[in-house]
Every structure is written in structure tokens, then in C-alpha cells.
Chain A
């Protein structure tokens, strides 16, 4: 029962979505399932937030290593949650001033937009910006022209790195018109539109076949590994 009912839920949901693409009568069923999916996805955010709080509370109670940082995580979590859920400091909505919670959290000057501008933006942007440094270090340590394949990869990387900046124009912009195809900026376009397209297209076709096969295996109940506990 614990596995059969979820399996049938998946099968019904999946076939409803597939049929809604081909059968007009099934379109409203597909819309309904998509609408439910969107709400369940939003509840998944609540689940994520709850899991985070639970994990850090456990860490705090057990006094695991780094529990002090869990206080910071939980504290910032609770403060942000309270400010956002209660819409603290949010002005009324000019269109619906009579509704107490009609104001938008995004309004400029609110505590919520303060958190967005001075905490979320710098923290997340800088986390991503760190990768530029590690890419440089990795390129120095790992990129070795050991064989033909590696040489092809490196040469292409050089063409793209130089061709997509002004360096390409400086280095090869003087090539005569009959050799314009060999200018780095044109070579990089050629590499992207021919070789990269061919490679990524083949990968895409392979993935599409894999997705279709895996999806059908799930919807026919052949693959039940996602239910946990192996195929039954």
C-alpha cells in the first residue's frame, strides 16, 4: 500500500499531463494538475525552510561543532521570516489601501527590500563571484595538453577566450578580407555555430531519449527506485 498508491498517483499525474498535450478534452485536467503542482512547489519552499530550521535546531541542541554559526543561521532565518510574513513596515497598497496586508513586500524603503539589497544581493553575488578565482587556479593546475583531445579543448578555449574580447580584434583584425574567416572573432562564432552546436545537439538528443525512456519506465511502473527500497 505504501508503495502502490504513490506509484498510481505518479502514473495518473504523468499520463494526465501527457494526454493534455494531445487530447483537447484532457486539457483542463492538465491545467488542474499544473495548478496543483505550482501550489505544492510553493509548499516545498516552506518544507525547505522548515528542514533548515529543524537541522540547525538539532545541531544547536546537540552542541555539534560549529553550533555558534547555527545561532546566526536561525536568528537571521527567524528575523527575515517575521519581517516578511507580517509585512513589517510595508506601506498600504495605493490601489487597495483598506486591506491591511495588500502592500507589496518589494516596496522601496521597506525592511524587506533592505534585506534584499544589503544582504541577499551582496552575499549571493559574491558567493558566485568567488568562482572566477577558482576557475583561474584550476586552469593553471589542471589544463594540460596531454593528448590530441586535450589540445583540441585548449585550442578551442583559446579561440573563444580571445575571440570574445577585443584581444581577438587586435591580434587578428588585420587579416585581409579573403582570410576574414580566420579572424579570432569570426572563428569563435564558427566554433559555436558549427562544432559546439553539433556536440551539444548530440548530447541533447541523447538526453531527450534518456528522459523519454526513464519517464516511460516510471509511468509504466517498471522503475520504482524513486519510491525507495528498490524495485518491488
Chain B
């Protein structure tokens, strides 16, 4: 066995031992409980079958509720241990650790997790796109009777223009799916052209309005500001700093734009402005780095919380287990 293999074996054995030990101490770890409720719904008068239908729903509840229910009535069955969700919880913990294991070295567990996320995500997005957009909009316009009877009885009858536009959408959609076939890939250029054109048309107007004109207007700030306090007197110190802030902002925008002007040589005044622009941009990137770090660490904290709270039951910040 290689050294790396031995390392993994030792880590795994220690880990399993710790898990077993944790399971035997205190409340144990990683269990999910659910509460059963009966839902009874009246069928519409036009229905030919029974007047009502019913089913059971299962809602996750904190372990504290299970403990209280068991204490009140040990024979109760309303709140019970959930095998599917508990297995799911342990799988989620396994996936989390499998992906973290990549930090040590690339390994089959990570690759399995990676393959799963790709497969599940692709199918998930496809299903959501189908049921949330294609069915109500496209099938709802082209086959309203079918959609009404099987999916959405409240569907409104489509207008003629809507049906025409959905025929157009269907044609473009089929042409786009042609890409999957071995020949005729050029056919998918039509829907691609539609997407490119519509996107370009949307973006030209929006970017000019919000990112050019509005930003230019927002930069037109007074370079001398007078800040008055509650009594109406001018606060010289606050006015000074507000003016400095505005001057720095206006100068900064102009100098950064000067830097981006590559068709003029960066010499003399333009060169000096471009230099100051670079400094502003470095400060901008430093701020972006700081915020990015903040964001990534929050995501890591959330995962570690899941491991320590939901799975290992080491902490109980939400008071679900009465710790």
C-alpha cells in the first residue's frame, strides 16, 4: 500500500472511531424526525370519483418535539424517526466531506461527488425550466386543453398573438435542439441569432441609461459642500470632509477614465491622470478582494455549521435539541 493510501486509511479509521464515540455520548448525532399530518381535500362537484381525497404529509420537526411527544405519550406515532431524511442527512455530510477531501488530494470520493453534482444539477435545471416556463407558457398556449386538464385548471385561454409567438418559440426551440444531432448544426444559428439580437437590443438601452448616463449624472457632485447642523449653522469640519470626498470621487472617476483611454499616449497631464487612475483602481481591487474573502468565508462557515450542528450535534445554536 502506498504512503498516501496508508494516510487515508488511518484518517478514515480515526474518523469512524470518533463518529462511533460521538454517537454513544449524550444525545448521539445526526437524526431527523418528522410529524405526520393528514390532508383531506374536497374534489370539485364535476369529478366522477369520490367526494374527497386524502393523503399524509410529513414535516420535519426538531428532536426536542419528538422527545416531548414521547415523554407525554410513549405510544404516540404522530412524530417519528425518519429513515429517508436521516439517510439523506448522512449522505449530505458524506458529500460535504468528500468535496472537502479535495483539499488534501484529488481522490475518487471527490470525483464521485463532482460527477453527482453535474448530473443532478443538469437534470434539476431542465425539469424546472420545463415545469415552470415551458408548460404554462408554451404548452399552455399551444395545447391549452391538455395543460388545463392535467396541470393547471386555472389556465386562461390563450390569445391569438400568444399562440403565434409560442409557435415561433417552438420552431426556434426545435432548431436549437438540432445542435444535438450529428448533422445540421448550422440550423441552431437561427435561435442563437435571435438570442444575440434580443440581448444586444436589451443591453444597449439598459447599459447606456443606467451605466453611462445615470453614472455620469451621479458623478456631477458639488465640489464645495456646506453641511449645516440642526441649528442651521454651517459645520465647517463636516463640510470640509464632505467636499474632500466629492473632490476625490470626481477626480477619481476622471483619472480612471483617463487610464482607460488607450488611444491617447499616456504622457504629460494624461499620463499623470492615468497614474492616479491606476492607484484608484488598485484601491478598488483591494476592496473587491476584501469583500470576496468575506463572501467565501461566510460560505465555509455555513458548511461547517451544518457539520457541527445538523450532523454531529456538537452545537445547538437553534435550540432544536435543548442543549
A interface, CB within 8 angstroms of B: 2-3, 5-7, 9-18, 21, 28, 32-54, 66, 69-70, 72-81, 84-85, 91-92, 94-102, 105, 107-109, 114-133, 135, 139, 148-150, 152-157, 159-161, 164, 181, 188, 190-209, 211-212, 214-216, 218-219, 226-228
Contact = CB atoms under 8 A, between A and B. Distances in A.
A227 B154 contact: no
A190 B245 contact: yes
B157 to A, nearest CB: 16
A149 B85 CA distance: 53
Q: Which of the listed residues A98, A114, A121, A188 has the most CB atoms from chain B within 10 Å of its own CB?
A: A98
A133 B204 contact: no
B92 A91 contact: no
Given A36-B165, A39-B169, A195 B126 contact: no
Contact of B192 (A2, A6, A119, A212): A6
A6 to B, nearest CB: 3
26 contacts: A5-B190, A13-B194, A14-B196, A17-B202, A35-B169, A37-B198, A45-B129, A47-B176, A47-B180, A52-B118, A73-B118, A84-B126, A84-B128, A97-B43, A97-B44, A99-B151, A118-B89, A123-B95, A123-B117, A125-B302, A128-B296, A160-B294, A196-B287, A198-B284, A208-B207, A208-B208
A123 B153 contact: no
B125 A45 contact: yes
Please list the 9 inter-chain residue pairs (A to B) with the smallest Cβ-Cβ separation, ordered nearest first. A198-B252, A160-B290, A156-B286, A199-B284, A17-B201, A84-B127, A202-B256, A10-B197, A118-B88
Given A9-B197, A123-B117, 11 more contacts: A9-B194, A35-B169, A36-B194, A38-B133, A39-B166, A49-B126, A92-B41, A120-B124, A156-B286, A164-B291, A205-B253
A96 B200 CA distance: 41
A114 B84 contact: yes
A228 B190 CA distance: 12
A199 B281 contact: yes
A15 B201 contact: yes
B116 A153 contact: no
Contact of A153 (B252, B283, B303): B283
B57 A109 contact: yes
Given A125-B302, A132-B297, A196-B283, A215 B193 contact: no
B227 interface: no
Contact of A122 (B47, B249, B306): B306
A66 B133 contact: no
B176 to A, nearest CB: 6
Contacts of B43: 97-98
A185 to B, nearest CB: 13
Contacts of B293: 132, 135, 139, 161
B124 A98 contact: no
B2 interface: no
Contacts of B186: 2
Contact of B280 (A96, A198, A226): A198
A218 B302 CA distance: 44
A138 to B, nearest CB: 10
A36 B165 CA distance: 6
A194 B248 contact: yes
B122 interface: yes
A206 B256 CA distance: 10
Nearest to B248: A194
A105 B161 CA distance: 30
